[in-house]
């Protein structure tokens, strides 16, 4: 009985009163866009900072890397 109740609740949350595709579609778009932006920003920054560190090792006295 409890498993049936839990399944029914999970179904209700997924279905969202038959508006599930619109609601989950909205949350999905927001999640993909915002997480994608954040992940892309982090990866790009780390790659650039890695290149700066490598340059610093080859040109330690360069003013631009202080």
Partner 1 sequence: MTSEVDTHRVRPRRAVSVANPARFFRIANRLLPWLSATAAVLFAVGLYLALVESPPDRQQGETVRIMYVHVPAAWMALFVYVSMAIACFVGLVWRHGLAMMAARAAAPIGLVFTIVCLATGSLWGKPMWGAWWAWDARMTSVLVLAFFYLGYIALVDAFDDPARGQQSAAILCLVGVINVPIVKFSVDWFNTLHQPASVARLDGPTIHSSMLVPLLVMIAAFTVLFLVALVWRMRGLRAGAKLAAATANAAREA
Judged by the rule CB under 8 A, the positions of this chain that interact with partner 1 are 13, 16-17, 19, 22-23, 25-27, 29-30, 33-34, 37-38, 41-42, 44-45, 48-49, 51-52, 55, 59, 62, 64-65
Could you give the CA distance from residue 17 to residue 15 in angstroms, rounded to a whole number? 5
Q: How far is the CB of 8 from partner 1 (least distance, A)?
A: 14
* Residue 59 C-beta: closest distance to partner 1, Å: 7
8 A C-beta contact, residue 16 and residue 23: yes
């Amino acid at each position: 009985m409890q498993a049936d109740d839990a399944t029914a609740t999970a179904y209700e949350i997924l279905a969202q009163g038959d508006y599930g595709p619109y609601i989950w579609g909205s949350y999905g778009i927001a999640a993909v866009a915002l997480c994608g932006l954040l992940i892309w920003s982090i990866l790009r920054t780390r790659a650039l900072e890695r290149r700066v560190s490598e340059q610093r090792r080859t040109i330690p006295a360069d003013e631009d890397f202080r």
